[in-house]
Amino acid sequence: MKHPPTIANLRPTRIDSENIIKMLCESYPKCFFGEARQRRPLKQNIEADIIKDQDFDVAPEMIRAAMEWYKSHIGYDHALSSIGAKRIDLNGCEVGTVTESEALAARQGIGDSNEKLGH
């Protein structure tokens, strides 16, 4: 007997995440960008700020999945690849900087992506 899906085992699809990212771009235009080259390093744990925003009515699980997808894009790795790059909050204000270890991890991610693509 097959059980109906529950929130615990329901994983958002890529299309779900893309739609939520579009919503984030509309709701926070100084923070989120659809164009990968415009992406900037985000405030640490920015997901919590989005979840707290009562005007952005999306389930926390969906927000977390969309943010995971956004941050997994090579464009985001490029944004993180410079030590000292400024991190931004939902309003586009600078709230921190990228550390050396974060920049090195991003560069490794770029190298891994390029290797998979055969570059």
8: number of Cβ within 10 Å = 6
Please tell me the pTM assigned to this model: 0.84
* Pairing between β-strand 86-88 and β-strand 94-97 as defined by DSSP bridges: antiparallel
Residues 100, 102, 104, CA angle at the centre, nearest 5°? 70
Report yes or no: 43 and 30 within 8 Å, Cβ to Cβ. no
Tell me the HSE value of 7 on the side-chain side, using a 13 A CA sphere: 4
**52, two tokens:** 């707290």
Using 50, 70 and 90 to split pLDDT, how confident is the model at 2?
A: very low
- Per-residue pLDDT tens for 13-65? 989 999 999 999 999 999 999 998 899 999 999 999 999 999 999 999 999 99
Domains, in order of start, for the chain: 13-117 (1.10.1710.10)
